[in-house]
Amino acid sequence: MVAAPRSGCPINAAVEAFGDRWSLLVLRDIMFGGRRHFRELQAGSEEGIASNILADRLKRLVHDGLLTRDEAGPGQKATYSLTEQAIQLVPVFAQLGSWGVRHRPTTPALRVRAELLERGGPKMWADFMDELRETHLGIARPTGRRRSVTEQLANAYRTAAAVSAT
Amino acid sequence: MVAAPRSGCPINAAVEAFGDRWSLLVLRDIMFGGRRHFRELQAGSEEGIASNILADRLKRLVHDGLLTRDEAGPGQKATYSLTEQAIQLVPVFAQLGSWGVRHRPTTPALRVRAELLERGGPKMWADFMDELRETHLGIARPTGRRRSVTEQLANAYRTAAAVSAT
DNA sequence: CCTTCCGCTTGCAATTCGCAATCGCTCGGC
DNA sequence: GCCGAGCGATTGCGAATTGCAAGCGGAAGG
């Protein structure tokens, strides 16, 4: 999707699309943190991304088809949305999160989302993807919905953050 | 596991462990390509990794607990083995492969392994992990095995490579 | 010996990263 | 009309990382 890929291997393709120290974190904040604007992403970043790096990554992700950018005039609030490609990274995030929780030190507040997604399994991932499609692509999701996964994730995070603050 | 993590987020932990342009490819070649030695990894690399980068990544992966290095005397064949942590990346690789196949251009020969793992699902992943545990950790796997996943992957690759050569 | 292969190191140029400061723009208030 | 706040970025620049080529010391084979 960009320049000449180093090989035709699907793993390499994934690495070339978001195999650096920031791209996945930006996608994570948009996907799980509900952040849609430049300043939200920069200020709210747990890891403290620099604005030039963020600008570069957003540009690259848009170019590679993982994000779309909705203009609102220059100097105005531009909104970034996930594409279907990016939404289909939900299972990847779930597995990466499970691995991170199992094998690396993590803080309770930031861990709960990964744990929830792991317990929920592929069904919950699919529900979450449907919700993302609604939020980011404007595709109405099937009727008769159970409790919103997005809300569950947000609530779990809030609760854990409150507990760890005490 | 190395320096101070930028945050306690499990996704960030994963990114810090193998979020660069080479680490995952090295792990892939060891895991799916059966490569265990320095020169095998360098010469057989689809993407053409430089020797200094390979040396650095191997060192880092060993330090971070994803690989172990079995000495065989200086100037001799050192053997790299996956640790349990690395073996538990199988589901991550499976999901990354599925994503890459769906959303990026890939070559048939390199694609088949990802397709096979996707069709096999979590059961096949678990079998493959057991086989890796036997090969890399010396842990005998449960008796009464079905056909080896390692072999299926290798056969599928060979067949596809032969077809694409015609 | 002499060659070959082994894991790796070194030198060096080019690229990328990351921090801080700043830009041009728009909007609301007065 | 002007000012300040907020917006999405851009610029400058030193430091770190990357990637290519060449070479190293040891071991094994002839």
Distance from C-alpha of B10 to C-alpha of A104, rounded to nearest angstrom:
7
H/E element, A82: strand A79-82
Q: How far, in Å, CA of A141 to CA of A130, rounded?
A: 6
Q: Which residues from chain A sit within 8 angstroms of residue B95, using beta carbons?
A: 91-92, 94-95
Whether A106 and B10 lie within 8 Å, measured CB to CB: yes
Question: Nearest nucleotide by C1' from B69 CA?
Answer: C7
**B23-31 vs A10-18: helix crossing angle, rounded to 10:** 160
Name the residue among B13, B104, B142, B138 with its Cα closest to residue A106: B13
Question: Chain A residue closest to B16 (CA)?
Answer: A21
Half-sphere exposure of B47 (CA within 13 A, CB side): 25
Separation between Cα atoms, residue B125 and residue B137, nearest integer Å: 17
Closest by Cβ to B7, choosing from A13, A46, A92: A46
According to the model, what pLDDT value does residue B147 have?
A: 76
Q: pLDDT by residue for chain B (166 residues), tens digit each?
A: 456 788 999 999 999 999 999 999 999 999 999 999 999 999 988 999 999 999 999 999 999 999 999 987 666 789 999 999 999 999 999 999 999 999 999 999 999 999 999 999 999 999 999 999 999 999 998 776 677 999 999 999 999 988 877 6
Whether residue B70 contacts residue B115, with contact meaning beta carbons closer than 8 Å, is answered with no
- A35/A135 Cα distance (integer angstroms): 12
Query: Is the pTM for the entire model greater than 0.85?
Result: yes
Distance CA A104, CA A60 (A): 29
pLDDT digits (tens, 9 = 90+) for A55-103: 999 999 999 999 999 977 666 789 999 999 999 999 999 999 999 999 9
Alpha helices in B104-148 (DSSP H): 108-132
Spatial separation of the C-alpha atoms in residues B95 and B104, rounded to whole Å: 14
Judged by CB atoms closer than 8 Å, whether chains meet at B11 and A46 is answered as: no
CA of B166 to C1' of C7 (A): 37
Chain A positions in Cβ-Cβ contact with residue B1 (cut-off 8 Å): 104-105
> Of A6, A11, A45, which to mutate for an interface test with B (greatest number of B Cβ within 10 Å)?
A11
Pick from B57, B84, B99 the residue to mutate for testing the A interface (most A CBs within 10 Å): B99
